[in-house]
A and B are shown apart, each in its own frame.
Chain A
Amino acid sequence: MAAEELKTGPLEYRTQEGQMGIMGFWIFLGAEVVLFATLFATYAVLFGRTADAPLPSELFEPGIVLIMTFLLLTSSFTCGLAIHEMRRGSVKGLIFWMAITLALGLGFLGFEIYEFVHYAHEGATLQSSAFWSAFFVLAGTHGLHVTLGIGWAILLLIQIKQRGLTNVTSRKFFIISLYWHFLDVIWIFIFTSVYLIGMVI
């Protein structure tokens, strides 16, 4: 099975293992869609249940959220460029764009932590009301995913240094790029349905 290897096409698709790994990850992403959908549903149902805590419209600020959104959108773009470089066979380009992606991701995380601390100072914490529990768990789960993604990508960068581009390493990078773009998709929905709608209503 491992012996049968295609001679053309992107490296990550050439072996049966590579194809299966990528398909498995797509299925996993399907599960992740539902995981986040459940968090969104909880958030939507608990919307307005702020009890004595501040209202979201009092705390949400467009500026910082837009910066976070642009950071993540750009990181998704650079991640796409990294995979583009990988498919051209350029390890250097891959590492370069991936490193930028991670830097942008770290920037995003920094702003998110700052934001959470700020809200906590204003009296909106995980414990203060049903609404804020739902907010922190939804945004926090996304943030946790970003954190895991950064750690994972660092491991892969070490591996590509050690081994260069092979069927296996390119499969791993392709999968993490799927993961990273997917986190951007989730963030777009958080941006829209949490922050924007929170500021409208």
Chain B
Amino acid sequence: MHITDILVTGEPIIYGAMVSMALGGLAILFVLTYFKKWGWLWREWLTSVDHKKIGVMYILSALLMLFRGGVDAMMMRVQLAFPDLGFLNSQHYNEIFTTHGTIMIIFMAMPFLIGLMNIIVPLQIGARDFAFPYLNALSFWSFFFGMALFNISFVIGGSPDAGWTSYTPLSGAAMSPGPGQNFYLMGLQLSGIGTLATGINLMVTILKMRAPGMKLFHMPIFTWSTLVTCFIIVFAFPILTVALALLTIDRIFGSQFFTLTGEGLPMMWANLFWMWGHPEVYIVILPAFGIFSEVISTFAKKRLFGYNVMVWSMIVIALLSFLVWVHHFFTMGAGAFVNSVFSVSTMLIAVPTGVKIFNWLATLYKSKIEFTVPMLWSLAFIPSFILGGVTGVMLGMAAADYQFHNSYFLIAHFHYVLIAGTVFACFAGLVFWYPKMFGHKMNERLGRWAFWLFFFGFHVCFFPQYFLGLDGMPRRLFITNVAEWLPLNVISTVGAAGMALGFVVFVYNVYYSFRYSERETTGDSWNGNGRTLEWATTTPVPYYNFATVPYVDEIDPYVRMKEEGKTTFEEDKVKPIHMPSYTGQPFIFMALLGLASFGLIFEWMYLAVFGLIGGVVMMIRRSFDYDDGYYVSVEEIKETEKKARGL
């Protein structure tokens, strides 16, 4: 096979991307070598099992993916606003909407939230680390190599082009030959394993490693949302694993699950995909609800209104999320009874969600609101998300869905819930907990600029799309030079540019704050408004997290701790802390599985078998690994704490 058979050729934009990727890669290599940072990178990051560092790596990857997915989005918007320009050809357009959707859901939203969970959840419950730190590193690297695999597809082998839902028979071997769809299947499969492992890991962490006295109904609401989310992950991700595996076997080994020959049933793919896919949207929205709850209660300076109801509504949402999947394909042609059942269950979800909205409003009612940047994102979320939710109920009516389905009305709806819900929450959470992660806040003025640009850009971009949908504009359409649609499309593209600008300001703010922000001296960064245990640690958080874990018997324990002058450092109670050792095994293990997946993508079976054997060898090594970690001595803890607390 010649190199030009593998590389994607003939597209000026992709050549540009290749050159910039090569240059970027070379620049990173150069910087690492020039400043002699290779050892540092390996010792401090690639081999780390510290939940805080893994969380930071998740968030960095997610921001990178937000950039990549955002560039895809901008290219689509340019094409739609200037359809006669010939900016993209149809094939390239298909690839871009596919990668945009897949990346934003799987490689942006989930890792961003999982990154925040990684950093914050152990701190909120007073844990030393995850229950299984090794497994946590494994999860991250499986996500990372899955992401890398998916992203190289556009320069090597060609991107998948069957939409992020990858419906069969279009995505089957007969109609999409070549490696493109395989990249989708293997990239998702590899990162899905990591997500499942994270779900198990966090569940055990939350159930077994809480501070003494902390009952489940004393947990901070973000931790609760994480627990419920992990429950969904554990039960939903195996469905995706199977669906992906079946399609892979179809494509590579010639089975007949979703084919048009051999009495295969292509719609079964849609059925399985959405059995995972619907719970998946709750996997990315419930943690967002958790973040908003924390931020709103902190800056309203009140205990969250209706804490118990908030928790129960999340649990109800989680259970309902497994009962509504058919509303994604009402137009499959099922009978009225099938569609009605799922129509009713879909509309039921609006009830617990509505309960949550009213609880947030009740928390805000008669409170002294402090308009910080995270609070701005949270306040903007409420009305924006309601717009998305209400149109969701419209889409949930099966008969009406025949009109809305696959139109821009749908596009506008799910961007309204996913951006106003998940993306706003990612920004709110990142800004909110930024001082905990990096020891300084993000600049508020720049933060407000980023917020307003993104917020207005978002509404200008997506509100017109409801009307485009009602005017009949279908999604995934490459030629749109219908005069009636053009003005709204141009407005929408202007809005998208606003969002892009907001993102640029946000990223610049990371740099600006690193240079100029005041360093934090106290752990309770937001003017002493912290309510939960993560704010009781010093900033930056010592690698062992808590010198002594306080006894907790209420919600928002840090409020009373501050009143009583208690800290997480009670000198006479310090004991040695058991810590896991860093290890390079997860990185190597997942690199080998990444290699195996790469082999499968191109159907180079020798490479695949080699990678798999390597993976098995790594598992055997792990089985014989009796490394028991080490203890942090009392002296070291006391010294660290005294220095950090200025005692």
Contacts and interface: CB of A to CB of B under 8 A. Distances in A.
Given A133-B249, A155-B624, A28 B200 contact: yes
Contacts of B208: 16, 19-20, 23
A28 B234 CA distance: 8
Nearest to B255: A133
Interface class of chain A by DSSP: helix
Interface string B333-374: 000000000000000000000000000000000000000000
A129 B620 contact: no
B390 interface: no
B132 interface: yes
A126 B253 contact: yes
Interface in B194-210: 196, 199-201, 203-204, 207-209
Interface string A2-17: 1100000000000010
A19 B264 CA distance: 45
Interface in A78-128: 126-128
Nearest to A140: B249
Interface string B231-247: 00011111101110110
A39 interface: yes
B206 to A, nearest CB: 11
A1 B578 contact: yes
Contacts of A159: 623-624
Nearest to B135: A24
B257 A46 contact: yes
Contacts of A16: 208
Interface class of chain B by DSSP: helix
A130 B234 contact: no
B204 A126 contact: no
A38 B263 contact: no
Contacts of B209: 20
B265 interface: yes
B24 interface: no
A1 B128 contact: yes
Contacts, number: 124
A21 B239 CA distance: 24
Interface string B243-271: 10110011001111101011111001001
B119 interface: no
A137 interface: yes
Interface residues of B, number: 48
Contact of A155 (B256, B620, B628): B620
Contacts of B259: 130
A145 to B, nearest CB: 13
Contact of B255 (A2, A32, A41, A127): A127
A20 B131 contact: yes
B40 interface: no
B254 A35 contact: no
Interface string A28-43: 1011101100110110
Nearest to B243: A38
Contacts of A163: 626
How many A residues are at the interface, by size bracket? 35 or more
A82 B500 CA distance: 62
A49 B207 contact: no
A189 to B, nearest CB: 15
Interface string A161-199: 001000010000000000000000000000000000000
B628 A2 contact: yes
A12 to B, nearest CB: 15
A133 B256 CA distance: 6
A27 B272 CA distance: 22
Contacts of B235: 30-31, 34
Nearest to B240: A38
Nearest to B626: A168
Contacts of A28: 200
Contacts of A134: 257
Contacts of A74: none
A66 interface: no
A51 interface: yes
Contact of A137 (B207, B238, B255, B263): B255
A38 B239 contact: yes
B238 A31 contact: yes
A130 B264 contact: yes
Given A30-B235, A31-B234, A34-B235, A24 B265 contact: no
B204 A20 contact: yes
A23 B256 contact: no
A137 B246 contact: yes
A49 B238 contact: no
The winner among B234, B263, B265, B626 for most chain A CB atoms within 10 A is B263
B249 A137 contact: yes
Interface in B135-158: none
Contacts of B245: 137
Contacts of B272: 38, 41-42
Interface in B614-639: 620, 623-624, 626, 628-629
Contacts of A46: 257, 263-265, 268
A125 B243 CA distance: 20
A49 B578 contact: no
Contacts of B196: 31
A127 B623 contact: no
Contact of B254 (A21, A27, A127): A127
A129 B263 CA distance: 6
Given A20-B204, A45-B268, A127 B262 contact: yes
A136 B199 CA distance: 29
Nearest to B275: A38
Contacts of A168: 626
A105 to B, nearest CB: 18
Contacts of B257: 42, 46, 130, 133-134, 137
A190 to B, nearest CB: 15
B326 to A, nearest CB: 14
A50 interface: yes
A164 to B, nearest CB: 13
Given A16-B208, A19-B208, A31 B578 contact: no
15 contacts: A1-B578, A24-B132, A24-B203, A24-B204, A27-B200, A31-B237, A31-B238, A38-B242, A42-B268, A49-B265, A126-B249, A126-B254, A127-B254, A133-B257, A163-B626
Interface of B: 128, 131-132, 196, 199-201, 203-204, 207-209, 234-239, 241-243, 245-246, 249-250, 253-257, 259, 261-265, 268, 271-272, 275, 576, 578, 620, 623-624, 626, 628-629
The 10 lowest CB-CB distance pairs between A and B, nearest first, are A49-B263, A133-B255, A35-B238, A38-B242, A34-B238, A130-B264, A127-B254, A129-B262, A51-B263, A130-B256
